[in-house]
Chain A
Amino acid sequence: MKRLLVLLLALCAMPIAAQDTLPPAPYAYRQLDDPAQEAQAKALMETLRCLTCQGQSIADSDAPMAGDMRHQVRTRIAAGEAPEHIRAWLIERYGDYVSYKPHIGASTWPLFALPVVLLLVIAAILRRRFRGRS
């Protein structure tokens, strides 16, 4: 009985306030009225990293900061800004890390070049082998 009581009390444990008490930003959980614009915003939000919970996109995260970023993305798209312009604005502030969209740059091109090189090497090896046999 005592053990049960302790277990029940454990269920009542409350975390110390670690998040704010303000209501979410207007467009954090509200879609844009124009379906085409909302689709644009959704596509962008799915490729932006939540800075609080870094494994998630801002579309997936319930962190207040992700909510504020969704609000920012939606209001800017509603104002006619291009999604890639918003992405560039964020990269200018947080670096490439904030974007999930792969891009070919000075430090990332080997990632894209290496598979092609490997395929060419394999093709060359196979050709030599089959030639040798026949």
Chain B
Amino acid sequence: MKRVRWTLWLPLALFCAFCVLVSVQLFRPAGSEVQSAMIGKPLPQFDLRPASTERPGLKTADLRDGQPKLLNIFASWCVPCAAEAPQLAELERQGANIVAVAVRDRPEDVAAFLARYGNPYSRIGADDLSEVQFAIGSSGVPETFVVDGKGVIRYQHIGDIRADSIPLLLEKLQEAGQ
């Protein structure tokens, strides 16, 4: 008789556990960022034309010259990309070599963007069909990858770089150089 009473409460207990699970998950929704699965893998082959007249274009071999680099994915039409410009300038001032891929952009727009927000880049390739973006698993702009001297992707920063992310990026860049 006692055993029956215990099992009678079981469905209610299961139901309550389910409700708790649902409400907990409701209060902490999943993040909307999609991490690249390419971290630790070599960059794919690409060869991009210059995105503006001021800097040369970008190809895979440029990222295999032995020196670790930051690879910034940006676009002149992207508002957070303008917001991270001071942080990129600071990274460059502290010795980072930053190369860039401009996604779906026109040369005159890129030139105007650089004139307005500064140009921390040593090279800028134009990715008109988002092909390089897909190939490295980037899902939006801006994103910043740390690439070591052999062209292997070591770290991905999603979204605009805030001031408090600068030390971490410099650290990852230094790690990539070892």
A residues apposed to B, CB below 8 Å: 16-22, 25, 51-52, 54, 64-65, 68-69, 71-72, 90-95, 97-98
Contact = CB atoms under 8 A, between A and B. Distances in A.
B34 A68 contact: no
A93 B38 contact: yes
Nearest to B104: A20
Contacts of B77: 17-21
Interface size classification for chain B: 20 to 34
A22 B130 CA distance: 12
A22 B104 contact: yes
B105 A20 contact: yes
Contacts of A68: 104, 129-131, 133-134
A90 B138 CA distance: 11
Interface string B117-141: 0000000000011110111110110
A10 B129 CA distance: 35
Contacts of A51: 34, 139-140
Contacts of A22: 104-106, 128
10 contacts: A18-B77, A20-B105, A25-B129, A52-B139, A65-B130, A65-B139, A68-B104, A69-B130, A93-B38, A94-B37
A79 B41 CA distance: 26
Interface of B: 32, 34-38, 75, 77-79, 103-106, 109, 128-131, 133-137, 139-140
Nearest to B75: A20
Contacts, number: 67
A90 B134 contact: yes
B34 A95 contact: yes
B130 A98 contact: no
Contact of B129 (A19, A71, A92): A71
A124 to B, nearest CB: 15
Given A71-B129, A93-B135, A93-B137, A64 B104 contact: yes
B140 A93 contact: no
B60 to A, nearest CB: 16
A54 to B, nearest CB: 6
Contact of A69 (B78, B128, B134, B136): B134
Interface centre among A18, A19, A51, A95 (most CB of B within 10 A): A51
Contacts of A21: 77, 106, 109
Contacts of B134: 68-69, 72, 90, 93
Nearest to A51: B139
